[in-house]
Amino acid sequence: MQVIWRKFRQQAILWREVVLPGVLIVAFVVLARLTGLLQVQEWMALDLFSRLCPAATAESQVAIVGIDEANLRAVGEFPVSDEKLARVLSILSEYQPSVIGLDLYRDVPVAPGHDSLIQAFQTIPNIIGVETALNSQASMNMRPPAQLPPDRVGFTDVIVDDDGKLRRIILSSPVTGANSTQVKYSFAFRLVQRSLAAQGIDFKPSTQLGSVQLQRFRPNSGSYIQANASGNQRMLNFCASQKLFRSLSLTDVLQRNFKPEWVRDRILIIGMAASSVKDIFFTSALRETLSSRASGNPFPATQLIYGAEVQAYGADQLMREVLEQRSALRYWGDGWEYLWIMSWGCLGIALGLVLQSPWKSLLNIVIAIAGLIGVCFLGLLMGWWIPVVPAGIALGSAGLVTAFFDRDLRFELVQRRKTIDRTYESVHNGPLQHLAVILRELGEDVSSLRLRQELQSLNQELRSIFEHMREEALTRSDRFYLNDNRILDLQAPIAELLYQVYDHTLKLEAPGFAEIQTYIPPDFDMLKTHHFSAEQKRGLCLFLQEALWNVGKHAMGATRLDVMCLVEAETYVLRITDNGFGTNSTHEGQGTRQAKAIAWELRGYYRRYHNSPQGISCELIFPVKRGWFR
């Protein structure tokens, strides 16, 4: 009991000194994330992963009719006149798109041909117009075309994150008017609603989609901390839509230079695709946008994305979500996210602790971080946004800090041990010698008997101080516990350790040892040319201890105990033979399993067999390891 308590206490001290720094680091990472310090890095990681996603293979339901600089030059006017626009609308409607979104602000007439545009609005029922509605000051909002009823108008307001990048769209939002609050719907939502209505699906912006609950964007969704989550927002999963939308130019449409199936049953978005018009956002999550393709500058880290394209991504994702009945980008609850981060932190601590060399720790931490990145990337491919940055930081920093502290502690212990050894040498060469001189000259007079005893115990005390100090200075991986609170140092030569185990175990009171008259001692010295790791030494000590203890427990009436350590045909044999009445039970106990594990560790084997006429031998046989250059 005392031994267990002592082990526990020593373990606790070590853990406090080595594990605590790692735990503090993990706590610090969690705190940093809670306060939003890691938000931007997590966004960047999401964008980076998204950019690495493979291109989408499915044909998109959305196409863009872009008005680019060349078109503007060709038509020779800006803005494009109502007349031209009306013609475009009527040409497109001939090809029966499911919905036409007009992502152009047309609240005021652009002569000539305003009447024909009004007529187009009235005769083509599936045209959706745009407004902006969410500016805090109503006067800054752009009004929708007056001729379109409210259910054919959607707002194009978006929310840009603090780093200036776009990652979300809004489905609906309450808007406070002069005397009432009404819910307004976004352009992308209206497009999808209209398109689905054509397929007979009634789509409302509630979070319930059929039987599936769509995750609504909350202030702390994913890696966001205290984000503006007003209205009903959705995160865009750029990973899943890593492909340019089919885009037609205004001239293509006017000249009917397109295939009818590019338009039929599609969601068409007519919008500006000219960088001179300030309907532009930034993203890092796409490999390519219409803008980057047009500018001939492929794959810059940050892309310009046209407003119409943003709406296309929104509509495309919404369509998929409705049809597949699941959120395009999902995230865990905060609790799970922090549990995930702390688990990786704990893995880091474990790696720093288990692997004794800092280099090994470092290598394994790097491998673990690669694994983490892989898992998170796979997660994103499957639509899960898993925190990678805080988990990686927790893993790396906790691992390194632990490895460092562990190494430091071990270094300190080595130094302490050296000091103790030096101190002992001095005590040994000074006071102990002096004491020896006094003791031997005291002789054996009865008068000095008492003094002699006192001095003897002083002698013992001085020695035991050293023993204790040495034991205290051992690192946890170097300790081997003998039964009565004694500790062996696994850094000592193997022969010495095994002698100590042998000697110590046989001193224990056991029925099997009671009648032994002849102990045939082993010569462990032949193991000294072989290099054993601390773990292997521990294994050999355990094996010997267990084997001898088995003799003590089971070998009733044994008169002879033969422990043999020899080299036979390139193998080491460690054999313990008794001549007692013990039986070789077939039951495989803990001891046998342990012995087999030790044998396996040494690439050898273990066996236990009956001798004639009586007695049991158990032996551990393992190969003599040859050096590479011998």
Partner 1 sequence: MNAELTEPLLQRFLVVDDHEAILAGTIPALQARYPTVEILTAKHRQSAEQQVALYRPDLAIIDLSLPELPHAVPNTEVGIQLLQALMHTHPAPNLMVLSTNIKPLVRLKPAINAYEGGFAAIDKSLPIREMLKYVDLALRGSIYLPSEVRSRPEFDRRWLEVLRLKFQEGLSEKAIAEQMKISDRTVRNYWIRIQDALNVYDHPHKDLRVQIEIAARKAGLLN
- Give the interface with partner 1 as residue ranges (CB under 8 A): 425, 428-429, 432-437, 439-444, 455-456, 459, 463, 493, 495-496, 499-500, 503, 506-507, 517-525, 559-560, 564, 579
Residue number with CB closer to partner 1 (202 or 445): 445
Amino acid 587 reads H
CB of 598 to partner 1, least distance (A): 23
Minimum CB–partner distance for residue 574 and partner 1 (Å):
14
Residues whose CB falls within 8 Å of the CB of residue 324, separated by 6 or more in sequence, listed in order: none
Report, in Å, the least distance between residue 570 CB and partner 1: 21
Separation of CA 327 from chain center = 23
448-486 in b/e burial notation, b at 16+ Cβ within 10 A?
Answer: eeeebeebeeebeeeeeebeebbbebbbbbbbbbbeeee
Query: What are the backbone angles phi and psi of residue 137, rounded to the nearest 5°?
Result: -100, 120
Sequence-ordered list of residues with C-beta below 8 angstroms from that of 546, at least 6 positions apart, any chain: 591, 594, 595
At its nearest, how many Å lie between partner 1 and the CB of residue 576? 14
The smaller minimum CB distance to partner 1, of residues 136 and 447, is found at 447
Strand pairing class (127-131; 99-103): parallel
Residues pairing with 176 in the sheet: 181
Shortest approach of partner 1 to residue 508 CB, angstroms? 12
Indicate the residue among 444 and 461 with the shorter CB distance to partner 1.
444
Half-sphere exposure of 168 (CA within 13 A, CB side): 29
Please identify, using beta-carbon distances, which residue of 75 and 439 lies nearer to partner 1: 439
Give the nearer residue to partner 1 in terms of CB position, either 358 or 493. Answer: 493
Judged on CB neighbours under 10 Å (0-12, 13-18, 19+), 562 is middle
**Exposure on the CB side of residue 442, measured as CA atoms within 13 A:** 18
Instruction: Give min distance, CB of 406 to partner 1, in A.
Output: 29
* CA 272/CA 101 separation, integer angstroms: 12
The encoded tokens of residue 449 equal 């008997």
345 versus 582: smaller Cβ distance to partner 1: 582
Q: C-beta of 457: minimal distance to partner 1 in Å?
A: 12
Helix/strand/coil (H/E/C) assignment for every residue in 493-550: CHHHHHHHHHHHHHCCCCHHHCCCCEEECCCHHHHHHCCCCHHHHHHHHHHHHHHHHH
Local structure of residue 215 (DSSP, 8 states): P
Place of tokens 């892989």: 374
Q: Report the residue number, 468 or 507, with the smaller CB distance to partner 1.
A: 507
Other beta carbons within 10 angstroms of residue 230's beta carbon come to: 13
Q: Which residues pair with 234 in a beta bridge?
A: 169
Minimum distance from residue 515 beta carbon to partner 1 (Å): 11
Q: Of 550 and 579, which has the nearer Cβ to partner 1?
A: 579
Write down the least CB distance from residue 528 to partner 1, Å. 9
What minimum distance in Å lies between the beta carbon of 619 and partner 1?
Answer: 16
We find the least distance from the C-beta atom of residue 490 to partner 1, in angstroms, to be 16
In sequence order, what DSSP letters do the residues of 229-244 get, joined into one string?
Answer: --SEEEE--TGGG-SP
For partner 1, which is the closer residue by CB, 202 or 441? 441
Q: Give CA–CA dist 458/438, Å, rounded.
A: 12
Kindly state the smallest distance separating residue 438's Cβ from partner 1, in Å. Answer: 8
Look up tokens 């007079």; give the residue.
Answer: 445
| Residue number with CB closer to partner 1 (493 or 511) | 493
CB 64 within 8 A of CB 242: no
Which residues partner with 185 through β-bridges? 172
Nearer to partner 1, 53 or 420 (CB): 420
Residue placing its CB nearer to partner 1 in the complex, 352 or 615: 615
Phi, psi of 267 (to 5 degrees): -90, 115
Q: How far is the CB of 610 from partner 1 (least distance, A)?
A: 17
437 versus 556: smaller Cβ distance to partner 1: 437
CB 216 within 8 A of CB 330: no
